Chain A
C-alpha cells in the first residue's frame, strides 16, 4: 500500500526554468493538498483540491499552478522558478469532512539556483 507518492524526490533547477511536481494517492481520497516547508516554519498551504475537478488557492499560491488530473493525481507546476521557491514540497490527501487526518508523501526537495 503506497499511500501518497511524490516524484521526483530531489531536483535542482536554474532560475527561470519550469517544472512539474507529481503526486498520486491510492487511498481513494477526495481531497488533495500541496504544501511547502521552509526551515524553522511549519507547512504552508499552496493549493488544495477539495474534490476532483476543483482547485483553490491556499496561503502562498503566487508563482504556482496546479492540476487535479483525476481523483488520484494532483500536480504542482512552477512556470518560472525563483530562488525563493527553494523548499521542500509535500503533497497530502484526505477523505472529505472536517474530522479526517491528512496523509503525506515524503516530499520533493527542490533547490533553485
Chain B
C-alpha cells in the first residue's frame, strides 16, 4: 500500500509562479524524501528531510515536515519550464525500504 500520498494529483502554473505540493503519510518515519521524474526517465532525488527536522532548503526547493500532522510539503519557487515533471514523496521507515506516493504532475506553462 502507498504510505505517502501527494496532493494535488496535478498542478498547472505559469512560469515564474511558485508550486506547492503536499504529502501525507500514515505511520512513523525515519525520514521523508522527495523525488522528481521527467517523462520517460527514472526518478531523481531532490531532498531528504529527517524526522527531527522541520524545514530544509536546496536552491529553489523548500521542504517542510510536520510529524504531528504526518505531512510534508514541497515548494518550488520561481518555477521554470524545466520544472515540468512528476514529483513523488517517499517515506523511509526503519528498514531499507522507501514507500512512494502516487505523485503530483506539475506542468509549467511558458
Contact = CB atoms under 8 A, between A and B. Distances in A.
Interface string A31-63: 101010000111111001010000000110000
A74 interface: no
Interface residues of A, number: 25
Given A99-B31, A101-B33, A45 B42 contact: no
Contacts of A107: 40-42
Given A40-B102, A42-B90, A107-B41, 11 more contacts: A42-B4, A42-B88, A42-B99, A42-B100, A42-B103, A45-B99, A102-B45, A104-B42, A104-B43, A104-B44, A106-B41
Interface of A: 4, 31, 33, 35, 40-45, 48, 50, 58-59, 90, 92, 98-99, 101-107
A98 B88 CA distance: 18
B77 interface: no
B75 interface: no
A37 to B, nearest CB: 9
